Amino acid sequence: MKKLNLPNKLTLLRVLLVPAFVVFLVIDFTHVPELYARLIAAAIFGICSFTDMLDGKIARKHDLITNFGKFMDPLADKFMVFAALLCICSSSYFASIRAFAVWAALIVFFRELAITSMRLLVVNASGVVIAANWMGKVKTVSQIIFILSALLEVDLLWDIPVLTYVSMAVMTFFTIASGINYMKAYWKAIDPEN
């Protein structure tokens, strides 16, 4: 078996860190205060987000793009974001924003599943791999900012987590807008008349 290159190792590291991130948000540790558990979870999520940016840069700069990376990188991103959103929606730490977070998470889940399915159809139909455009990248950054804001702000800094609500609104907007953008660009692949 061929050895994994550095970008693929970073992608796998991201996948392996997701369960560790979840542990600190769902398990009530007797000897670890909530503040420390959330700071550790935020640090792990921050590392995951950094490796997401880093693996792509290294792969492009050193011509280390592989089919494994093309498959695993977006999958690792979805594991990371889905796990974080599920934790935010279910953990008692975030009860004060749950009513809004659940709707935002549903929009993210539906968009990601719809666009991933559409990408598979486009690849099967034409062999063209749909690269992330600027709007998709902004969407990903907005998801990361919202998740980090929720981890570090909700019920820790002040009563009303303004940054969390603002970043949730921005994330929701770019999630919908980028989904519509992709659908319009590649509608031919899913046209019901074809």
Per DSSP, the three-state class of 158 is: strand
Mention every residue, 6+ apart, whose C-beta is less than 8 A from residue 136: 178, 181, 182
Residues 82 and 60: their CA atoms lie apart, in Å, by 26
Within a domain: 155: yes
Within a domain: 1: no
Domain tally, the chain: 1
* 105, pLDDT greater than 90: yes
* 33, pLDDT greater than 70: yes
Most confident of 106-110, 111-115, 129-133: 106-110
> What token pair was written down for 130?
């749909």
* 194, pLDDT greater than 70: no
> What token pair was written down for 10?
């970073």
pLDDT-derived band at 131, boundaries 50, 70, 90: low
Mention every residue, 6+ apart, whose C-beta is less than 8 A from residue 126: 189
| Closest to 151 in 3D by CA, of 1, 28, 37, 14 | 37
* 184, pLDDT greater than 90: no
Within a domain: 176: yes
pLDDT at 127: 67
Within a domain: 172: yes
We report the CATH number of the domain holding residue 176 as 1.20.120.1760
Within a domain: 113: yes
Distance of CA 63 to the CA centre of its chain: 25
Cα atoms in the Cβ-side hemisphere of radius 13 Å centred on 193: 2
Within a domain: 94: yes
- Structural domain of residue 175, as residue ranges? 6-190
Tell me which H or E stretch contains 142: helix 134-153
| Closest to 167 in 3D by CA, of 101, 84, 90 | 101
Please state the rounded mean pLDDT for residues 64-72.
83
Please, what is the average pLDDT of the chain? 88
Within a domain: 44: yes
Comparing 59-68, 73-82, 103-112, the range with the smallest average pLDDT is 59-68
pLDDT at 1: 45
